[in-house]
């Protein structure tokens, strides 16, 4: 029982060794992450079309719950860009942005996504996430980055943008191009330039003026906070809200009330595809960050427990008025680099955000949305990567096709269609690749017990005995190809009396393959050819033991290919 | 060019050797098949909800076209039970049975299905048919057999049946149970009993009274014709049509007019799923019959050319007023057993049916539908097989689940949902099975160059060098499992300095797997562990050559596992 407890509640594992040193390290990391997370959570809420406090709420309870259930020592959960975009897409299909219904839908989406993740974790269904192949994920993240950056142009330019897909949105933006709000544009572009400078030039400058690397790093990380502070002061001092600069406005002070999300059957049906996709994309992103960081300290991650931890985080987000969350890359790296030792750092970050929600929100009144948009644009530009796309093109045209399809459909139609099309394309590609099983007709290497491909090596063969080495497990997807190959071999070799299937690489024979083998056996029998097996692996052999196929097999099962070949060619010398 | 001609027009292949002996053999077979096909084509048209002449039309042009394009010497195409059921289901979603629109929809379905098949053949997409695994097909055919048999009860009982799925239909039948038409019931049950007797007792009786086996066989095959003739005479003599016995009525005399089917975009959209499923199911059924028969005479079948041949047959059926067709099992076996030598037998059968259409249709006026229903019921009962279901349960619970799902959904909801659910279930099962790649940590068998699983054999290992033999190709579906396994191995072996991936069974590394290998390499680097590869196959090695992965690989690529192990363990003896 304690073992089971530690499996589902990893906090009992690291908690019992928790020391003062841990607390100091975790506290320092939490402070840095908190400073980074405040503007991020406001900005991603904006991206999701939600009021800023929803972003803050999503950065409290989920962090505490991940600290209890998570297996990564350093993963930092909370709102992230891609999931926020997906939330915006799914939610705006159902409710009008800016309404209470919209917020309630986003909260319901977090609950649904949390339940999906938890159930997948409990039933060990993490393998479903494998369906999102790397090329599809890379394409999807890149396209999402572009979509997000463009979606923020409306805040930078200060003009409304409408439409449900990128072409529509761009057209609506161009139509309003003469309505650009100059103060907004100045704040937006100014913030972008400032953030670019912070990213690329500030650190070396600070070190040059004598600051330690650590302090310099910290200041760089706090860059968005400076942008926020400066533009708040500017807007307030110049009364820019009177000149139509869109500001955050009143953010409710205080901790969120706990609530049950408003989920009914019809809403569940409408949201479930989106919730599933958000769960899977979030999980894949999160687990890869977690594994990368864990490997650096030789720690272990349990994928199924991660599903449960992310599930609980999302459920927690939902009941405390937040929206879907997952582990974020940049934030986790900062947490790791800042020296976080245990998930307690996440818990302490939650305390930091809670304090900010209690005491700092009045200061955010004059924060221009353009500043937040600028931080989003700078953050997501790192998601857009061209090099992996080129490398995929060079390595595999098929995988590139799946990636390109994902990018194009995500950009032109939307995130859900894009990712689903990518998954379907990689499925079909996979099936196509697995429909052609590798096999080789083999012959004996003279003087040895080895058998090699007759096309590549000089080997001994006997026209009466054909040996076929099968290089894959046999499934419904590839068995028909083999069936056909054997038919053709027989038609081409009129002297053939025996066929040996060398099964050294066969790990599994499914029902379809078993039935096809029976059909092959029956057909060969009609033409007086015996079918034999050699080198069948233990588990495969066990399953075949009581089947019709083995009972009706015209030939024998040999332990080794050499034994089979020797016995069958020896037969020949008789009469 | 002549080779290409022979590939797409196999008639040029067998046609040039055609002899008088062939003609006699083919003519005899054609006569027997014609006798069998007349009642079948009427009955299956009834099953499809179409007038009898549509069944006859579907048995003329398709046979001629298959003779030109088909690669099987003995396959007999035409209307078949399962495809007729699927046609009825799809068509009745769009038009009211009994209307001109219904007939036109069925004709359009044949065209669409023909185009799909032809395109699949030209683009060599026959592999798509592999998606219909054996358990799913077995389940689907069994459930279809039950559905068909029950659907004919209305003709046997002489009461109407309504509803779009089995439960609804059964309820509607039970509600009308007191309206049973007694003469219809007598004809129906009488025909069923007669046909059972013909199937099971007649042959030995005929041989006992001195007839040759051949003649006895022929009479048995003509059983349905006798049933048809006897009930026509009875109905006509007793004027049963006046007692509400449903009869075939006026069948238009003469050959069909050629026509272009009425296909518009919205109809194409509505019918395309059904057309695709009909194409695939029809193809899978047909190709397995063709291969079984071809193997008996050591002949070859080309699956892609078969797609073209079936496609042309369906297009031909459509333009001559017929509905979807495919190769039928029972009919092809009869054709084969009767000695058909070339596809010309099919052409001659078409002539037989054409003659029947020209001269025999007036005789069919009094044919009771109950007789046709009886022949359908007897024919489809052979589709319902319990033994393969039990065997699948014994062999693989997963495959059984896919089969059971197909049966249940086909019966309760409908053929399309049933087969699609089955395909999806087998996909997921397949993915699940392939998400767990077989691998083994291996060690050296003392005194040899062989490496075996450390769990099963007594082998030599070195705590600094872990050798992992990968037993499958690496794909997006299974690479994360391996990634995790290696992480765990490293966490469990603090002394580890080298990991060797033994790739002797890896036939392909897709882009996802390549990127995961890069990630594994990078993570191992962080902990000062070198990653090495051994026994990489030629084609895999070629593709890896110019990738980042190989450039950044911390270790080496060794030709053999022995070489790798020797080199890396030798390193150890140094300081």
Q: What is the DSSP string of A54-98?
A: HHHHTTTHHHHHHHHH---SS--EE--HHHHHHHHHHHHHHS-TT
State residue A199's pLDDT score. 86
**Contact call for A505 and B471, based on CB within 8 A:** yes
**Contact call for A472 and B471, based on CB within 8 A:** no
Q: With beta carbons under 8 A apart, name residues in chain B contacting A303.
A: 480, 484
CA distance B434 to chain A (A): 10
Residues B500, B400: Cα–Cα separation, whole Å: 39
- Per-residue pLDDT tens over the stretch B500-529: 999 988 888 999 899 899 989 998 998 899
**Contact call for B295 and A523, based on CB within 8 A:** yes
State residue A2's pLDDT score. 64
Residues B238, B233: Cα–Cα separation, whole Å: 8
Residue B105 has pLDDT above 80, yes or no: yes
Check: complex ipTM more than 0.85 = no
Q: Is the dihedral of CA A500, A505, A507, A512 positive or negative?
A: negative
Distance of CA A470 to the CA centre of its chain: 34
**Contact call for A292 and B523, based on CB within 8 A:** yes
- Residue in A closest to B138 by C-alpha: A512
Residues B163, A311: Cα–Cα separation, whole Å: 43
Identify the helix (H) or strand (E) that includes residue A211.
none
- Residue in A closest to B507 by C-alpha: A438
Residue B38 has pLDDT above 60, yes or no: yes
**Contact call for A515 and B134, based on CB within 8 A:** yes
Residues A538, B456: Cα–Cα separation, whole Å: 11
**Structural domains in chain A, sorted by start:** 19-155+165-427 (no CATH), 439-573 (3.30.750.24)
CA distance A305 to chain B (A): 13
- Residue in A closest to B538 by C-alpha: A456
Count H helices, E strands: chain A?
Answer: 27, 8
Residues B192, A186: Cα–Cα separation, whole Å: 88
- Per-residue pLDDT tens over the stretch B447-493: 888 888 898 888 999 999 999 999 888 988 888 889 889 988 988 89
Structure token digits, residue A370: 């353009």
Q: With beta carbons under 8 A apart, name residues in chain A contacting B130.
A: 431, 435, 476-481
Question: Residues B514, A395: contact at Cβ < 8 Å?
Answer: yes
Helix (H, G, I), strand (E, B) or coil at A375: helix
**Contact call for B134 and A298, based on CB within 8 A:** no
Residues A98, A102: Cα–Cα separation, whole Å: 7
Determine if the pTM surpasses 0.80: no
Nearest to A488 among B300, B512, B548 (CB): B300
Distance of CA B201 to the CA centre of its chain: 32
CA distance A56 to chain B (A): 33
Nearest to B395 among A133, A438, A547 (CB): A547
Contacts of B423 (CB under 8 A, 6+ apart): B131, B132, B133, B136
State residue B574's pLDDT score. 44
Nearest to A134 among B135, B295, B512 (CB): B512
**Contact call for A512 and B391, based on CB within 8 A:** no
CA distance A535 to chain B (A): 15
Helix (H, G, I), strand (E, B) or coil at A193: helix
The mean of the pLDDT values for chain B is: 90
Residues B508, A438: Cα–Cα separation, whole Å: 10
Q: How long a stretch of residues is chain A? A: 575
Angular region, A331: left φ>0, alpha ψ -120 to 50, beta rest: alpha
State residue B572's pLDDT score. 55
- Residue in A closest to B128 by C-alpha: A432
Residue B382 has pLDDT above 70, yes or no: yes
* Beta partners for residue B499, in sequence order: B466, B531
Q: With beta carbons under 8 A apart, name residues in chain B contacting A435.
A: 127, 130
C-alpha to C-alpha distances, B88 to A263, B47, B49, B486, nearest whole angstrom: 40, 7, 6, 54
**Contact call for A490 and B298, based on CB within 8 A:** yes
* Beta partners for residue A452, in sequence order: A443
**Contact call for B438 and A396, based on CB within 8 A:** no
State residue B374's pLDDT score. 93
**Contact call for A300 and B487, based on CB within 8 A:** yes
Q: With beta carbons under 8 A apart, name residues in chain B contacting A471.
A: 505, 507
- Residue in B closest to A490 by C-alpha: B298
DSSP A469: E
Contacts of B563 (CB under 8 A, 6+ apart): B534
CA angle A306, A311, A314 (to 5 degrees): 130
What would the DSSP string read from start to end of B243-305? GT--B------SPPPP------HHHHHHHHHHHHHHHHHHHHHHHHHHHHHHHHTT----HHH
Residues A215, A207: Cα–Cα separation, whole Å: 9
- Per-residue pLDDT tens over the stretch B521-571: 998 998 899 999 998 987 888 889 888 899 999 999 998 899 999 999 987
Residues A285, A82: Cα–Cα separation, whole Å: 10
* Beta partners for residue A77, in sequence order: A327
Nearest to A399 among B511, B527, B548 (CB): B511
Q: Where are the alpha helices (DSSP H) in A320-414?
A: 329-337, 344-359, 369-381, 387-395, 397-412
Residues A316, A359: Cα–Cα separation, whole Å: 22
**Contact call for B395 and A476, based on CB within 8 A:** no
Q: Which residues in chain A show pLDDT less than 50? A: 573-575
C-alpha to C-alpha distances, A309 to A9, A62, A295, A354, nearest whole angstrom: 9, 9, 19, 21
- Residue in A closest to B469 by C-alpha: A505
**Contact call for A135 and B494, based on CB within 8 A:** no
Residues A368, A380: Cα–Cα separation, whole Å: 19
Question: Residues A435, B127: contact at Cβ < 8 Å?
Answer: yes
- Per-residue pLDDT tens over the stretch A29-75: 999 899 889 989 999 999 999 999 999 999 999 999 999 999 999 99
Question: How many residue pairs bridge chain A and chain B with CB atoms within 8 Å of each other?
Answer: 185
Residues A32, A36: Cα–Cα separation, whole Å: 6
Question: Residues B147, B361: contact at Cβ < 8 Å?
Answer: no
Starting from the edge strand earliest in sequence, which strands make up the sheet with A465-470, in order? A451-453, A439-444, A465-470, A498-502, A530-534, A557-558
DSSP A244: T
- Per-residue pLDDT tens over the stretch B7-37: 788 888 788 888 899 999 999 999 989 988 9
User: What b/e readout covers B261-285, taking b as 16+ CB neighbours within 10 angstroms?
Assistant: bebeeebeebbeebbbbbbbbbbbb
Q: Where are the alpha helices (DSSP H) in B382-496?
A: 387-395, 397-412, 415-435, 479-492
Structure token digits, residue B364: 């069919």
Report the residue of A425, A450, A466, A512 to disrupt the B interface, i.e. the one with the largest count of B CBs within 10 Å.
A512
- Per-residue pLDDT tens over the stretch B396-430: 999 999 999 999 999 998 888 898 899 888 888 88
Structure token digits, residue B338: 């009767």
Angular region, A535: left φ>0, alpha ψ -120 to 50, beta rest: left
Judged by average pLDDT, the poorest of A66-75, A537-546, B117-126, B384-393 is A537-546
Contacts of B371 (CB under 8 A, 6+ apart): B187, B188, B191, B227, B228, B231
């Amino acid at each position: 029982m304690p073992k089971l407890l530690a499996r589902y509640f990893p906090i009992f594992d690291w908690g019992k060794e928790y020391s003062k040193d841990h607390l100091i390290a975790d506290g320092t990391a939490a402070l840095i992450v908190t400073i980074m997370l405040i503007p991020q959570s406001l900005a991603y809420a904006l991206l999701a079309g939600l009021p800023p406090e929803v972003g803050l709420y999503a950065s409290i309870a989920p962090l505490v719950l991940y600290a209890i259930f998570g297996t990564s020592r350093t993963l930092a959960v909370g709102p992230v860009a891609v999931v926020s975009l997906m939330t915006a897409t799914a939610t705006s299909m159902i409710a009008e942005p800016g309404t209470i219904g919209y917020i309630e839908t986003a909260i319901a989406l977090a609950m649904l996504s949390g339940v999906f993740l938890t159930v997948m974790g409990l039933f060990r269904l993490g393998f479903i996430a494998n369906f999102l192949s790397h090329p599809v994920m890379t394409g999807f993240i890149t396209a999402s980055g572009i979509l997000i950056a463009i979606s923020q142009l409306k805040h930078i330019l200060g003009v409304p943008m409408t439409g449900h897909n990128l072409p529509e949105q761009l057209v609506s933006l161009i139509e309003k191009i003469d309505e650009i709000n100059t103060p907004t544009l100045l704040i937006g572009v100014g913030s972008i330039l400032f953030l670019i400078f912070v990213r690329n030039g500030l650190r070396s400058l600070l070190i040059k003026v004598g600051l330690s690397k650590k302090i310099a790093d910290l200041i760089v990380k706090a860059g968005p906070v400076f942008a926020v502070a400066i533009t708040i002061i500017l807007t307030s001092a110049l009364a820019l809200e009177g000149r139509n600069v869109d500001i955050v406005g009143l953010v409710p002070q205080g901790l969120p009330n706990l609530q049950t999300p408003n989920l009914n059957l019809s809403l569940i049906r409408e949201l479930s595809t989106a919730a599933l996709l958000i769960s899977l994309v979030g999980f894949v992103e999160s687990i890869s960050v977690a594994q990368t960081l864990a490997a650096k300290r030789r720690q272990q991650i349990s994928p199924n427990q991660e599903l449960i931890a992310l599930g609980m985080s999302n459920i927690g987000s939902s009941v405390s008025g937040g929206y879907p969350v997952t582990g974020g890359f940049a934030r986790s790296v900062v947490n790791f680099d800042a020296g976080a030792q245990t998930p307690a750092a996440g818990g302490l970050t939650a305390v930091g955000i809670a304090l900010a929600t209690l005491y700092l929100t009045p200061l955010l009144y004059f924060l221009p949305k353009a500043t937040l948009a600028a931080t989003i644009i700078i953050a997501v530009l790192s998601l857009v990567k061209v090099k992996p796309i080129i490398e995929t093109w060079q390595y595999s045209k098929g995988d590139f096709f799946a990636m390109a399809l994902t990018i194009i459909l995500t950009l032109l139609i939307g995130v859900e269609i894009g990712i689903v099309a990518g998954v379907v394309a990689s499925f079909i590609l996979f099936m196509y690749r697995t429909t052609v099983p590798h096999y080789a007709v083999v012959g004996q290497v003279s003087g040895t017990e080895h058998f090699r491909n007759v096309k590549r090596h000089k080997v001994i063969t006997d026209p009466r005995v054909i040996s076929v080495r099968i290089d894959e497990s046999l499934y419904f997807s590839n068995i028909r190809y083999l069936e056909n190959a054997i038919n053709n071999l027989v038609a081409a070799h009129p002297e053939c009396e025996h066929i040996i299937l060398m099964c050294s690489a066969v790990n599994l024979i499914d029902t379809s393959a078993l039935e096809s083998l029976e059909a092959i056996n029956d057909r060969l029998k009609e033409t007086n050819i015996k079918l034999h097996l050699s080198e069948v692996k233990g588990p495969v052999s066990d399953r075949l033991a009581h089947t019709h196929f083995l009972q009706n097999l015209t030939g024998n099962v040999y332990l080794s290919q050499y034994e089979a070949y020797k016995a069958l060619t020896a037969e020949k010398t008789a009469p």
